[in-house]
Amino acid sequence: MGDLGFASDTGAALPLYLVPKGGLADALSGADGGISAWAEAAGFSGKAGEALVVRGADGAATAALVGLGDATDRARRRFVLGGARAKLPKGTYHIANPGAAGADLDEAALGWLLAGYRFDRYKSQNGVEAELAAPDGIDAARIAAIASGEALTRDLINTPSSDMGPAELEAAARALAEEFGADIEVTTGQTLLEQNFPMIHAVGRASPREPRLIDITWGGEGPRLTLVGKGVCFDTGGLNLKPGSSMGLMKKDMGGAATVLGLARMIMATGAKIGLRVLIPAVENSVSGAAFRPQDVLTSRKGLTVEINNTDAEGRLVLADALAYAEEAGPDLIVSMATLTGAARVAVGPDLAPFYTDDDGHAARLAEAAAQVRDPVWRMPFWAPYETMIEPAIADLDNAPSGGFAGSITAALFLRRFVEATPYIHFDIFGWQPTAAPARPKGGVGQSARALFEALPDLLP
């Protein structure tokens, strides 16, 4: 996981100045004049990600500057300070800009912590030796909790399916529950049928790694929130087998589960006054004689029948049973997160997390929170005219409408059929950083959790 905390010993922390392009004088107002002279002599311009170390007569570092770029740079890039962390020499730093505060300072602090993430389970990774004192004006405990939640999400997604099957995902959930005193119940294998989770069982029954439904509950005060995360630990496509090129990233098909667990960690670590529930249908979609088939008709927990027209559209099936179960308890809000459709990536690419809601107020608050915490999301429509696309001739619902149009929307409409009376938000995330970026190495990444965490007080009654 790497070092995701602030420095504990801050006695000899060096000043660190965050400098917008062209803003050297303002950033260094009140600083020792020698720092300005050094920066000017070095031609420091404040370009995004640029780093400069100021040294004394003995060659020891006495201060550092990091460029933030101009407004265009900051709109295009996130976590610029995090990206520059590795360029600074070993030592402890404190942000010395006069009047630094607000969302920009929160982003700088979080970016610094996230830049310390390393996935070193299988190969040693060089650590980042520069440390940061918790800046004045931030909620350091909250920022650290967000970073730890994100690190949990990344670790789970990055772990290959050989070591992250349904049982291992359950173990991670149990460890989180134990850490925060939450209750956990798990329904496994044939018991899923006995407890009326037929579609979770159908999707996972072909694998020797038994399917299961993980159910975590925490907190007895406040409004009730249920998070539902898709936990398909590997997706072969089933009998509609994926080509090898499409199977290469399927270890991340449990990214929804990883994200809700990361978000749950944020909620529990900060002691939020929320009655939290986390439901994760954990399965492996495999191929064997027991696999469910194209043209099968499954009856869901809710009683709705589903015609299977593609066994590779399995995520919505396991989520449907979990969503129906979630609503039975009458929570105040249900949120699902899933690496559900390639259509979402075609629509908005890997960096944006599309979301669906019927509540315009919820949508506006999520968009506002996402911008504030630099966790981009984009609203997509529950487009009613497409409802007929998910209604086949012989069953209530079609899990994979033909034609290929509006794939993310039709998947969201399918899920909405299983949540009738409860406010509902669905995220169709990617969960993967395809190329390295500041504080976001290539690999598993959390999407939408920070935006949702920020917005929750306004989304819940």
Q: Find the helix or strand (DSSP H, E) in which 305 lies.
A: strand 305-307
Longest dimension (CA), the chain: 83
Nearest to 445 by CA among 343, 395, 376: 376
Inter-axis angle of helices 449-459 and 360-373, nearest 10: 130
User: How many CB atoms neighbour CB 295 within 10 A?
Assistant: 8
Exposed, middle or buried, 72 (CB in 10 Å: 0-12/13-18/19+)?
exposed
| DSSP designation for 207 | S
CA distance 93 to 81: 12
Q: List beta partners, residue 278.
A: 216, 227
CA atoms within 13 A on the CB side of 12: 6
Q: Which residues are catalytic?
A: 242, 316
Residue 23, classified by CB atoms within 10 Å of its CB into exposed (0-12), middle (13-18) or buried (19+), is middle
Residues 6+ apart with CB under 8 A from 57: none
Tokens representing residue 419 in the block: 């949540």
First to last CA, the chain: 35
CB-based burial label for 411 (10 Å; 0-12, 13-18, 19+): buried
DSSP assignments along 363-376, one per residue? HHHHHHHHHHHT--
Q: In a 3-state reduction of DSSP, which class is residue 153? A: helix
Of 113, 116, 117, 115, nearest to 140 (Cα)?
113
In DSSP terms, 185 is beta-bridged to 215
- The answer for residues whose C-beta is within 8 angstroms of residue 42's C-beta and 6 or more apart is 52
Q: What b/e sequence results for 222-261 when a residue is b if at least 16 CB atoms lie within 10 Å of its CB, and e otherwise?
A: ebbbbbbbbbbbbbbbbbbeeeeeeeebbbbbbbbbbbbb
Q: Are 338 and 429 in contact (CB under 8 A)?
A: yes
Question: Are 198 and 321 a contacting pair, CB within 8 Å?
Answer: yes
